[in-house]
Chains A and B, each alone.
Chain A
Amino acid sequence: MNSSLIALEICVLALGTVLMLADFWMPAERKKFLAYFAAVALAGLFIAGFSGSSFCNTFGTAFNGAFVEDALALFFKRFFLVAAILVLFLTAEFSDKLAGGVAEFYSLIIFALSGMLFAASANDFAMLFVSIELITVTFYVLTSFQRGRLGSLEAGVKYLIIGALSSAFMVFGIALILGTTGKMNFTELAQVAPQYAGNKLFLTGVLFLLAGLGFKISIVPFQIWTPDVYQGAPTPTTAFLAVGSKAAGFVLLLRFLFAAIPTVTHQWMNVLIVIAGVTILFGNLCAIPQRNLKRLLGYSSIAHAGYLMLGVAALSATGQSALMYYLAGYLFTVVAAFTVIALVMRHLDNEDIASLAGLNQRSPILASTLTLAMVSLAGVPPLAGFFGKFLLLKAVIQQAQATGNHGYYCLVFTALAGVLISFYYYFGVIRAIYWSREAKDLSPIPLSGAAKLSIGACIAGMLWLGIFPNTILEVANEASKALGL
C-alpha cells in the first residue's frame, strides 16, 4: 500500500489533535487565533497539493480497494479544504458567542473535515459508513454547541434523532446489499450488480442506502430536518453543514450510483427525475414565507440540493461535471452569505430579515457581499450561480434529447419555475438591505482584517467562477471521467 495516498488525511487528523492539545496550554483570550493557525495550516496543505510533488497527487487505491484516490476524490478534497478554511475564518468572527471551549469547536471542524476527506475517497461500504458517521457525529456536537441557547439544543436533538434514524437505514441497506451480493467494494459490486438488477431484496437495500444519503444532502422526502437545524445551529456550523456535509453526501452519492450500481441507476431514471423536481419545488415554495434569514437559507439549500440533483438525474458525464461546478460556486456563495449573517446578527437573538434594514448604511461592504451572494444564488450573470444553472440545464436537455424521455422536459420547466420563485425571496432579502424604511440601529459594523480577507475571497471566488469558468470546468470534466460514464 502506498502510504502517501492518505497523507492528507493523516495531516488533517494530526492538526485536529494539535488543536485539542493546544486547548490545554493556550491562554483563553488567545484561543480565538487558533482558528487562523488552523486555516493557515490547511491552506498550506491545499497549496502543497499543487506543488507537483507526490503529496496528494498520486492516484491509486489503498486498504484493499476501500480507499481510492482519483481525480474525483482530488476535486472534492480540494473543495473541502477551501470550505474548511473559509468556515474557520467565519468561526473566528463568531468565537465570542461560543460558550464552550473555542478550541474544541475548531478541532471538531477539523475532524468533520477529515471525515469529508475520507468520504471523497470512499470506495467501499465500510469506508462510506465510517466517513459518514465521522461527519455526522461531529455535527451533532457542532450543532448543539451553544449549550446556553435553547434553539441550538433543539437543533442538536433534532439532528441527532433524524441523523441516527438515517444511519440506521443506511446500515440496514448496506446489510441487504452485502447479504444479496456478498460484495462490500464498489468496484467489485459494479461487476455483479447487473445480475441483481431485478432482485427485490437488493433493490430495497439500494433504496435504504439512498435514504441515508438523501438525509445528508437534504432532498425530498428526507429534507424535514434542514430548516430547523439551519436556524438553530451556530452560524459557522450551519455554513459548514450547508457546504461541506452536503458536498460529502453528493460525492458518496455519485460514487455509489455511478461507480457501484450504474445499471440500477439507469433503471431508476424516473425516480431521480421526480426527486429532483419535487425537491426544487418544495425548497423554493417553502422559502417564500420565511422571515428568518437562516431558515430561508435552509429552504434555499433544499432547493439547491434539487438543482444539484439535476446533475445526477442527467445520468451523464456532463451532468456530473455541471454538478461539481455548481457545488464550487455554491461554496463561495453560501459561505459569503453566512459570514455576513454572522457579522451582522452577532448581537441579535433571532436572524430576522428585517434586521438587515439599513445594512447599506451600516456597512456597504457587507451589504454588497450579501447582495452578490443572493444574486448568485438566484442565478444571475456574471456570477457563478448563473453558469452553474446553465450547465445543469444544458445537461438535462441534452439527456432529454438523447433519451426522448419527456420527464426530462418536465424537469427543465420545473427547474425554471423554481428559479422564478426563488427570484421573489432572494430579491426580498436585497430589498430588506436597500430599501426598507424602519432601520432602528444604524451603528457601523466593525470588520476585522481577517473577515475582510475571507469576504474578499468569497467575492473573488463567485466572480472568478462566473467570468472564467474554464479552469474549474476542465478540472470537473476530468473528475467526472473517474466515474467512467
Chain B
Amino acid sequence: MGALQTLFKRYLRKNLPSYLAGTACLLATNYLSVTIPGQIGAAVDVLTTPEKLSAIQPFVFNIAWMGVAVVVVRSLSRVLFFNPGRDVEYRIRRDLFANLLHLPPAFYATQNRGDIISRASSDITWVRALIGFGGLQSINLVFALSLTLWKMGSISWVLTGITLAPIIVGTVIVQGSIRSWYPMMKKNQEYLADISEHVLESLNGVTTIQGFQAGSAFIRELKLRNKTWFDNNIQLKLVQSSILPLVALAGATSVFLLLYFGGPLLENGTLTVGNIATFIALLAALVPYMRSLGWMLSTWQSGRAAADRVLELLDAEPDHPEGTNGQHLSEGVVPNIKVSGLSFAYPDDPDNNILEDISLDLPAGETLGVFGKTGSGKSTLLRVLSRMYAPKRGMITVDGIDICDLDIYGWRRKLSTVPQRPFLFSDSVKSNIALGDSDDQERLDKAVSLASLTQDLPALPDGLDTIVGERGIMLSGGQRQRVALARGLYQGGELILLDDVLSAVDHENEQRLVKALNNFHERSQPSCLIVSNRISAFRHADQIVVLDNGRVVQRGTHGQLIEEVGLYQDAYLAQKEAGNTDGTAPASSTSSQEAKNG
C-alpha cells in the first residue's frame, strides 16, 4: 500500500462525512453556476419584448435566490473540503512529534535535523494541500472535464479530436516541464540555504569580523552567494513564466483550428452555426481546467513524495527492547548496578567497539569515578547506563534485573543526568532547571546553590526568571553548564550521572559540591557516577576506574592510583603542576565539541 493510501486510511476516515457533504455542496455550486447564466439570458430576452415586461419577475427572483444560495453552498463546499485538510495536518503533526520524542539517539545520529524539521513542516503542508485544496480541485476537474468532453463529443467527435489535439499536446508539455522544475526548485532551496548558512555564520562570528575588520570579505561572499541564487532563480522564473501560459496558447490554437477547418464541415452540412458557437464556448471553458490539471498532477506527485517522507518518520520505531511491559524498580530505593563484560559499539559503526569488556560494580550509595582521556569511552559508558543506547542483554543488571528489561521511563526517573553538552531551552532559567515541573522552591534553591549558580544570579537581569534565549545564548558557557548541573540536581534521582561537568564550577565550589552530593538525597544516599579528566573530581570517590581505549586499565581509590605508575598518576602530576587556578568556568563551546568523542 502506498504511503498516501496509508495516511488516508489512518487519518481521513474520520473526515469522510465532511468530504461527502462537501461534494454535495460542490455539485450544487456547479449546478447553480451553470443555471444562473441561462436565467440571465432568459431575463434579457424578456427585455426585447416590451409588452410583456412583467414576465421578467420569476427570472429575477430565481437569479436572486440562486445568488444567495451560491454564497451558502460555495462557502460550505470550500470549508468542508479545506478544514478536514487542516485537521489532518494537525493530527499528523501531533503524532509525528510524539513519535519523534521517543526515538533513540541512534535514530538522530543518522538523520539530518534540518531534514526532520522540513518533513514536519513543509512535507506535512504538501499532504494537507493534497487533502484539502487538491481534493476539491480533483473532484471539480473530473466533473468538469467529463461533462465538457461529453458535450463536445455529442456534437462531433471529429471536431473534438481536431480541437483537443493542441490542448492535449500543450498539457503534456506543461506537465513534463513542471516535473523538470523540481530539480531547479530544489537547487533554489539549496542556494537559499547557502545564504542562510553564511548569514548565520557571520552573525555567530561577528566579534571576529568586527575585531579583525573582515567585513568586506564577508560581504563579498554574501554577494557571491546571492548571485548564484539569482542566476538559478531567474532561469527557473524564465521556464515557469513561459510554460504556464502555454495552455492558454494551446486553447487559442484549438480555436484557430476550429475556425480554419470548421468552414468545410459547415458547408457539407455536418455542423450548424450554433454547434460552432457552442464549441467555442466549451473550449473557452476548458482552458482554465487544463491549466489547473497541470498543477493538480504536480500536487499529486509532490504530495505522494511528501507522504512517503512523513510516513517514514511517523512509523519509525523507538528502541524499546523491554517491549510494552518492562519491569519497574521500587520507588525511592537506590539501585545496585553490576556491569559485567560490557562491550559496546555504536549502531552506525558496529565493528568499532567503543567499550571493550568492562566490568564494574556500583553498589547503592557509593560514588564511582571514571577517569580517562578524550575518546576513552567515558561518555559512552554513561549513555549506555542511561539507556540512550541499549547494550546487549546480560551485560548490565540493576538490582539483578537486566537493564534491557527495565521500563525505560521508570528507569530514567531514577537518574539525575548532567550531560557534558549543556542544552538549554529558550525559556527561563527556572524552567530550565525544573523542566516545567511544579515549582518546588526549596528543592530549586538547594539545586541552585549546590550548582554554584547563586553567584551568577545578580548578573542576570531577572535572576532565575531570566529568559536564556536560544540554546541559552544569554548565558556564558559556564553559566550554561551550571544551569544544566542544577537541573540534574533538581531531578533528585537515586543515581547521579555527571559527565565532565565539574569544570563548570571553580575549585572551592567543586569541593563543596562533591561533598554535598554525598548527602544530597533526603531519604537515602544516592549513588553517584562521575566522569571526568580532572583528577580533583575524584578525591571523594569510593572507587575509580581508569579507561583507555574503551578498556579498564586501572582501578582503585584516589590514594592508591596516585601511587601507581599509569595514566592517572601522569595526569595527577601534570595537573598539580599546571593547576587550573581561578574561579572562572571554561567555555561551553569548547567542551561541547568533545561531547561526541568523549
Q: Does B bind A?
A: no
